[in-house]
Structure 1
Amino acid sequence: MKQYDAIIVGGGACGLMCAAQAGLLGKRTLVIERNDKVGAKILISGGGRCNYTNLGTDIDNFVSDNADFLRSAFSQWTVDDTLSFFESHGIFGEEKTLGQLFPSSNKAKDVVAVFTKILFATGQDIRLNTVVKAIEKLEDDFVLTVESEKGIQQLTTRKVVMASGGLPVAKLGASDFAIRTAKKFDMAIVPTAPALVPLTITGKEAEWYASLAGNSVFSRVYNHKISFEENILFTHWGLSGPAILQISSYWRAGEEFYIDLLPRFQLDKIIKDERNEGGKRLVSSILNDYFTKRMVEALGKFLPLETKIASLSKADAKLIIDTIHKFKVKAAGDKGYDKAEVMRGGVSTAELHAKTLESKRVTGLFFGGEAVDVTGWLGGYNFQWAWASGYAIAQAL
């Protein structure tokens, strides 16, 4: 068998960047990918357009037991490095909203092509339709048991990079193999869960949410930890949309959060101004200025829609203001890994050297990307982490 500087398990964003950067440094790697092509999750990201970084990336945009851990990787590979890297290969970014950068071609396949070209040019090897079943450590070497159409084989290498991602999107071959491997070597794991995921509503409130299915409302979604100002989407089973996906990373079962349905306006001021003009308009008329007819009708479950502003009691005015600006939500759960963008939790950062992402317990074993307890916000942050962690690992191979 060929001798490799490292075997990389997983041909996703982190694994591809690691192999590419290792190749550019004159090293030889083997990428093992269980799918029939590399970059499967890249190809479906952003609706096939690939939001490949965010111009405002900072450690505050990540959920982790120790977000400071990211400082080293992000100092080695910055957003500017991402821009320069892709531009040097013909991909120029186009900012959409909130710093989100997409290829100007709007084609995720162009991002994957950058890596496949580098891997080919630098002599890196890729094995597709191949699953790593087990990893053993024998003195200085790792022995990987792999299964493919050729049967079961054993591969030996001095260094292994676990870039096999997390649990979201099983149809793309997602698995917990990186987590199981870390546990096998007695490494600590931060409990995992779906993140950037729609939330479900059950019980007596479910029908109310379902009645609004398809309605999108620009809102501020918040809890005691954080807030996000983007669209929410009512669905037949609960809530989705960017702001809901964002808050889901900070939500735990049993917790409540709040929605400000009118974040750019102050309803108390609107009501006061309306009173000063005589207050002849109905509550429904005022709300129709800001919401769809269906939304206003649904709010009628909670609010005195047919009352004139002039006739509102202080209690009713407060009810309207609180309902619109502090709409309380108690989600029953989430839509699970198949609807999640990423996995929260993973290999504890306390187990890894921040500069190299090598295991402190097992020399030659590296973990990067989604397998690590580093979860970015929606909007390109997770790709920036994948690129940075892949780069940092490549320097140490």
Structure 2
Amino acid sequence: MAANLTKQTHFDAIIIGGGACGLMCAVQAGFLGKRTLILEKNDNVGAKILISGGGRCNYTNLYATHKQFLSQNDNFSRSALAQWTVDDTITFFETYGIEGKEKTLGQLFPESDKAKDIVNVFTTLCADMEQEIWCDAEVTVVEQTSDGFTVSFEREGKQQTLRTSKVVMAAGGLPIPKMGATDFGLRTARKLGLQVTETTPALVPLTITGKDQPWYEQLSGNSVFCRVWNDRASFEENILFTHWGLSGPAILQISSYWKPGEYIYIDLLPGQDIIEMILTERAQNGKKMLLAYLSGLFTRKFADALSDYVPADKNLASLTKTELEDIALLMHEFRVKPAGTKGYEKAEVMLGGVETNELSSKTLESKKVPGLFFGGECVDVTGWLGGYNFQWAWACGFVIAQNL
């Protein structure tokens, strides 16, 4: 169908994407008396907010600083996170009836445990301030003009084009394609001459294949508190064995720092010394079998699996120094070489995106294309698991709104 005539809009900006960044941007712009239009390709806004944290939405982290974000420029996120702090996020949601409760490691969830309450704050405020939200509107082209931009999109089966002086690209990243995720923001950036860093799935489960796979598969469902590390990062949280490899918070965290072909290491008893533990037990009960001892530290199923690597049928008194050292190496430096990841389908976020040197850290506006802003996941700033990426999205939305 032929496109309609291009229309001049009365909006101060068109926001592409009705996720965390886009919604916060529209609301903050409204507070400043600016009118915006959100174009959202899904039939509702906040799709990823609604599914985050198992539908509970871990909306920030009490300990968020720029240090928990990966980027080619580790300092880029400083400005936005300073302009919109964790306290600002907490106060904002409290103002509109959402009290936070801390779970673990600073993770803040709504008292109601309902992600929809977070989305409702934004949709209610947008309605109150007459900020427009058009759903089922898939943007196809953003083009620069002499006085701004034209934004072409398909809605209700019709091609439409609007003119605007400012565009906010809050279209997200590639994870969870079934939720409508695409690379539109990245394609648009490249088309308009901006550089994009390599993108990969992050906060994602790791797969094990080949001869080692059956060993992991037999442990599917077992969860163990561990320290997982490589030469770039270290995390102490649970890992979860699955029929295809490893998942759980610690694995998702380290996945952002892992590259194909590399090993990761697991300390199954963080903060403890297995040799000292065995020697202490041996002094009291040297006849105890190693398998029985390990079964007291882990589940019997996990102890049985470890028996493939240790002399489980020997009693503690008969373990040699070399055997003790081998046990210590297994327990404190369990080496894993993942085959790959579960990809964007299972990834929480995307690593990489629009290069930070293309944007002003203070305003998030493109240096090359005035009036074009990028925020949230499509920027090369990726947070840890635990509410950090939402804090970045809220901060981006606020900062961009101040500069529209």
TM-score (norm 1): 0.99
- Corresponding residue pairs, total: 397
Q: Which amino acid aligns with 2:163?
A: T
Work out whether 1:216 is the aligned partner of 2:231: no
Of residues 61-70 and 206-215 in structure 1, the stretch that sits farther from structure 2 once superposed is 61-70
User: Cα offset for 1:264?
Assistant: 3.7
Q: Which amino acid aligns with 2:360?
A: H
- Which ranges in structure 1 are unaligned for 5 or more consecutive residues? none
The residue aligned with 1:151 is 158
User: Cα offset for 1:150?
Assistant: 4.3
The residue aligned with 2:118 is 111
Q: Which amino acid aligns with 1:118?
A: L
Query: 1:247-287: per-residue Cα shift (whole Å, max 9, x none)?
Result: 00000100101011111421011122133335221111211
User: Cα offset for 1:140?
Assistant: 2.0
Q: Which amino acid aligns with 1:59?
A: H
1:337 to 331, 339, 344: 344
Work out whether 1:193 is the aligned partner of 2:185: no
Work out whether 1:259 is the aligned partner of 2:266: yes
The residue aligned with 1:363 is 370
Question: For 1:43-54, what aligned pairs fall within 5 Å after superposition?
Answer: 43-54=50-61
The residue aligned with 2:179 is 172
In the alignment, the residues of structure 1 paired with residue 364 and residue 17 of structure 2 have an alpha-carbon distance, to the nearest angstrom, of: 16
The residue aligned with 1:302 is 309
Work out whether 1:133 is the aligned partner of 2:133: no
The residue aligned with 1:26 is 33
2:75 to 68, 76, 81: 68
Q: Which amino acid aligns with 1:294?
A: K
In the alignment, the residues of structure 2 paired with residue 62 and residue 138 of structure 1 have an alpha-carbon distance, to the nearest angstrom, of: 34
In the alignment, the residues of structure 2 paired with residue 278 and residue 368 of structure 1 have an alpha-carbon distance, to the nearest angstrom, of: 61
User: Cα offset for 1:96?
Assistant: 0.5
1:102 to 87, 109, 118: 109
Q: Which amino acid aligns with 1:248?
A: S
Q: Report the identity percentage.
A: 60
TM-score (norm 2): 0.97
1:389 to 382, 391, 396: 396
User: Cα offset for 1:189?
Assistant: 1.0
In the alignment, the residues of structure 2 paired with residue 208 and residue 171 of structure 1 have an alpha-carbon distance, to the nearest angstrom, of: 31
Work out whether 1:5 is the aligned partner of 2:9: no
Task: Provide the secondary structure at the position in 1 that maps to 2:76.
Answer: helix
In the alignment, the residues of structure 2 paired with residue 5 and residue 47 of structure 1 have an alpha-carbon distance, to the nearest angstrom, of: 35
In the alignment, the residues of structure 1 paired with residue 326 and residue 147 of structure 2 have an alpha-carbon distance, to the nearest angstrom, of: 68
In the alignment, the residues of structure 2 paired with residue 366 and residue 111 of structure 1 have an alpha-carbon distance, to the nearest angstrom, of: 24
1:346 to 334, 337, 353: 353
Q: Which amino acid aligns with 1:203?
A: G
